[in-house]
Structure 1
């Protein structure tokens, strides 16, 4: 396996999900507040919901890490606890929570009802899918697209509801049912809930290359040598996504849509300061269109 820049012919391109491909719209806290009010709750602002949610989320992550996986708790139960602990402090002791509050919020944030794709995602992946199909037919350079995300098991369904074509292959599953390369936008999804670790742990990235290796063994002996593959990760968080990927031996790009780390008019390597003494140079892109300017995509065409 190689980072980009070598003589590798093939490309494994993986993305973070939340904040990189899609986002809540409106904000999580506005949606929580809206659903709660429609069910008869009142006396709190969206800012109150935000503060309470952050506290509840932090507590649940500490007590039951990785969406409850470490404690043997189902993700739905884990989120139900957060929902209850978000609203209980905002209500009088005598007022109970509506029974339908957690189910409605769980349903909303399992589909496009709670999220929206960034506008560059569909055009980018549709064009990439067309290029992949051409290469599959010509047995040319191959590209596999994956997701590596700290998440429970809802991500594939969310992406599908937002209009992406997602293979059902997840880390740890039998790959024999995987579709032929190029017929989907996303070939596989690696979620922390399945892996048992969360980014920035390198096990998340190793899980992706392990899934690729298994996938290639089924798909095509001609491209099965994983050492002939570049591995690239794109995410919106500096430490959990980009620096973690690089530390795991990947190439990486920081998707900086809001210009937090660089001037949005510029594209290319940017020096970021981690603390008073440590600096790293990372590749910053302002959108997915910028990815087309990288050497990784010269082979995709």
Structure 2
């Protein structure tokens, strides 16, 4: 059995996922404000806006003096502009509503097996924390989804100023917990930002894989490090 003292977790698409495609939520909030835009158009334009914003202003634009709230407001406004809505008097309240809506348990759902797995890790006496490329709303989201109590602390890239795969966010988690890297493991769904990054600081790590990528040789992940579902984690820890 792996002698783990600390287990750190990614959140989005590891423990929580969006209940609906982004375009559906954007379209629903826009309707409340009297704006009609098709969800499909908004999903497409969101991905364009998000990609451009992330490229020009990485990690919520912290180095450029932006707040994450302003960063997201710009993403929302550009999403609607690309979909043909360009009136700031409409876009500002829509952006504010969406910022609040994405804190809600109405927007997020817990992945199958997550609650059970977190509970079982507690029973084994493993301390747990979060390392996530997220803004500071994550504390509220985890609380609203009744998961926050599982974790000693939540490290977001906005709070720390470093985004995965930067080693410094993992190193900060190890310092805060007082645990050596070889006694810690990280669980996430991204090969570069989660699996590889944690290993690069000397931690163990497990990669949650989608079925279609489970046997992707390019990932260079041994089978004993891959999780077809969260329910597989405990057996791998015990085998290790």
Please report the TM-score for the alignment, with normalisation by the length of structure 2: 0.89
The yes-or-no answer on 1:35 pairing with 2:9 is no
Query: Distance in 2 between the 1:95 and 1:73 partners?
Result: 19
Mind listing any 5+ residue stretches in structure 2 that lack a counterpart? none
Conserved in 1, the CA contact under 8 Å of 2:117 and 2:234?
A: no
The yes-or-no answer on 1:126 pairing with 2:119 is yes
The yes-or-no answer on 1:19 pairing with 2:2 is no
The Cα of 1:131 is off from its aligned counterpart by: 4.3
Task: Specify whether residues 227 and 280 from structure 1 end up closer, same or farther in structure 2 by C-alpha distance, changes over 3 A only.
Answer: closer
Task: Report the counterpart of residue 152 of structure 1 in structure 2.
Answer: 135
Aligned residues: 239
Query: Distance in 2 between the 1:25 and 1:93 partners?
Result: 27
Query: Distance in 2 between the 1:35 and 1:229 partners?
Result: 46
Q: Which structure has the larger Rg?
A: 1
Write 1 or 2 for the structure with the bigger share of helix. Answer: 2
Query: Distance in 1 between the 2:85 and 2:12 partners?
Result: 34
The yes-or-no answer on 1:194 pairing with 2:194 is no
Mind listing any 5+ residue stretches in structure 1 that lack a counterpart? 133-142, 167-183, 214-225, 263-269
Which residue of 196, 206, 209 corresponds with 2:171? 206
Conserved in 2, the CA contact under 8 Å of 1:12 and 1:145?
A: yes
Task: Report the counterpart of residue 239 of structure 1 in structure 2.
Answer: 192
Task: Specify whether residues 146 and 95 from structure 1 end up closer, same or farther in structure 2 by C-alpha distance, changes over 3 A only.
Answer: closer
CA RMSD of aligned residues (A): 2.3
The Cα of 1:94 is off from its aligned counterpart by: 6.5
Task: Specify whether residues 118 and 153 from structure 1 end up closer, same or farther in structure 2 by C-alpha distance, changes over 3 A only.
Answer: same
Please report the TM-score for the alignment, with normalisation by the length of structure 1: 0.72
